[in-house]
Structures are given as C-alpha cells and as structure tokens.
Amino acid sequence: MALIIPVRGFTPKVGADCFLAENATLVGDVTMGDGCSIWFNAVLRGDVNTITIGNNVNIQDGSVLHTLYQKSTIEIGDYVSIGHNVTIHGAKIHDYALIGMGAVVMDDAEVGEGAIVAAGAVVLSRTKIGPGELWGGAPAKFIKMVETEKAREMNQKIAHNYLMYSKWYTEPQTDSETKE
C-alpha cells in the first residue's frame, strides 16, 4: 500500500478508481481526481503547500512534485501525463499536456493545454508555455506548434493506457495475461 502521510492537519485525498503503487508517497495537502495513477517511487509532497491534480492524470515512476512554502502551488489539469523521473516544483500544468521523461518544471511556470515539454527539458521559473507548443532543451525554448487534436489524442491515449496498466496491479489476471 502507498505511503500516505498526514502533515500540518492535511491528509491526502484520492479520487475514485485511482492506482497508487505500493511505494508511492503522498504527503499532506494533496488532492487527486478520479482515474489517476501514481507509479513506483513517485513522491507528491504537499507538506509546505497545495498540490491539486485533476482526473485521468498519470504520474510515472520516480517523479517528484513539491512546492515553495507559502509561495507556489501545483495545479495539474485533466488527462496530463507526467513522464518518468520528472520534477515539478510549484507549477501549473493545463489539460492534455505531456511532460517528458526527466524534465524539470520550476516554480510559477505554466504549461498550456495540449503543450509538450520534451524529455530532459528544464523549464525555468515563471516561463509561460502556450497551448499546443512544444518546448525542449536546457533551459527550455520554444521549438514548434503541436496540432491541438493530435496532442489531445496522444495524451488521452497515454492516460487511458496508464489506467489500463494500473488495472494489471489491482484486478485478478487471467492465464493468458500471466503467460510469457
């Protein structure tokens, strides 16, 4: 079972049909919508400020979400995919956005609807990434526009796939699923 730690009078709130890997950690002022998945070794540390997560969000293995005390919060919309080993520190991520593996998104940055942050990118504090934009590099810079429907389709597919993957851990498997 995931480690869920109340702190400063806040206990993490988890929506319906969510999957929390057994070594995921949720601390303090964390609120999560329905259909989310928090994967192995992910840490959502709402000890110093609020972390709010929408519906159908997947936060993949090794990712860390944290904020600045009394200064920044994290807001994540619906159908957002946070790749493996991502650090989000006090940022706002809009619906259908994708944060690639190993990316860093710093305080008061904003990632627009359907935007993509490339793997390994470093989004500096107060950076505003517009809807449908692809950013990459360190520090992250605008690369090109992404077609809105393609980004939404891709991110919905990833979110639905992660919901399916989570069921592998929570529902009984048939013989055909367990054979190699």
Q: What is the pLDDT of residues 128-176, one digit of tens each?
A: 999 999 999 999 999 999 988 888 888 889 988 998 999 899 877 665 5
Per-residue pLDDT at 176: 58
78-110 confidence digits (pLDDT tens): 999 999 999 999 999 999 999 999 999 999 999
- 3.90.190.10, 3.40.50.300, 1.10.150.120, 2.160.10.10: which CATH number matches 3-172? 2.160.10.10
Q: Is the pTM of this model over 0.75?
A: yes
On the question of pLDDT at 72 being above 70, the answer is yes
CB 148 within 8 A of CB 134: no
Handedness of CA 145, 105, 152, 75 (dihedral sign): negative
Q: Where in the chain are the domains?
A: 3-172
Q: What φ, ψ does residue 55 adopt, rounded to 5°?
A: -95, 150
Average confidence (pLDDT) over 59-74:
96
Task: Name the 3-class secondary structure at 56.
Answer: coil
| Phi-psi region at 96: left, alpha or beta (left = phi > 0; alpha = psi -120 to 50) | left
